[in-house]
Amino acid sequence: MGDETEASESVTPPIQRAARESSLGRLWRRAGTAIRHSFLYRWLTAEPDPEVIVIDLRETWTVGPFIRLLDAVLDRVFPALDNSRVASTARTGVQHTLAAPMVIAGVTLLVGGLLVALTSVATQSVGTGRLGLAAALIVAGGVATRERRSWAKLRETRPVELLIAALEPPEPPEETSTSDSATDTESPTDTADPATNDKSS
């Protein structure tokens, strides 16, 4: 047993040394050095500058006129778009989707599976992979169309709550803690003033 461990310890360093001295090892080291010295890597890993200057592009001579023109165009287009048929159709679609999101997803999967199957037959490229994909989409769509609950009810289920908790960004730190600590430090001086005034009087 001891001979095997000694043999493995004596064999491992030459293997590592050969791997480091090989052309692939040298190429890997050069690629790592080039990445670490690249501008993008240094920009992504640089420490944030506490004295960052914020420039309002609306007040600049070059970009400011274009931004003001864009604001004027959007202010006129959005009210007209809000009363258009496109907006009303989009609102109706959103309402139907929120009323039964799984049904909409199931119908989408069914249509996708049928399209994959029809495309495979039309192009005469019917294979096991495409047929399996089409069958999986059709079966998943059929199962999803059985779920009739609305988004409000689905959001209360445990899997959706876990998914939302995993995807939502963390909350920013509260600023009230700093204000509370400031008021706590100021309160002893405020309470001590009346006592000193009484003694002096």
Is 65 within the bounds of a domain?
yes
Q: Are residues 125 and 136 in the same domain?
A: yes
**Per-residue pLDDT for 9 more than 50?**
no
Clarify whether residues 88 and 105 are in a common domain: no
Q: Tell me the residue type at 130.
A: R
List, for residues 76-131, the tens digit of each pLDDT value: 777 777 777 877 888 888 888 888 899 999 999 999 999 988 888 888 777 788 88
Q: Which two tokens stand for residue 148?
A: 């009739």
Q: How many residues does the chain have?
A: 201
Does residue 62 sit in the same domain as residue 85? yes
Containing structural domain, residue 19: 13-47
> Same structural domain for residues 109 and 61?
no
pLDDT in tens, 137-181: 999 999 988 988 888 888 888 888 888 788 777 776 665 555 555
Whether 118 and 85 map to the same domain: the answer is no
DSSP-derived 3-state class of residue 171? coil
154 neighbors 105 (Cβ within 8 angstroms):
no
Is residue 197 assigned to a domain? Answer: no
121 and 162 housed in the same domain: yes
CA pair distance 40, 36, nearest whole angstrom: 9
Say if CB 163 and CB 132 are below 8 A apart: no
Whether residue 183 is contained in a domain is answered as no
Residues in Cβ contact with 98 at an 8 Å cutoff, skipping those fewer than 6 apart: 150, 151, 152
In a domain, 196, yes or no: no
176 falls within a domain: no
Phi, psi of 174 (to 5 degrees): -75, 140
Residue 160 counted as domain residue: yes
Condensed to tens digits (0 to 9), the pLDDT of residues 126-139 reads 778 888 888 899 99
Indicate if 104 and 164 belong to the same structural domain.
yes
In a domain, 40, yes or no: yes
Closest residue by Cα to residue 122 from 112, 133, 114, 111:
114
Structurally, how many domains does the chain consist of? 3
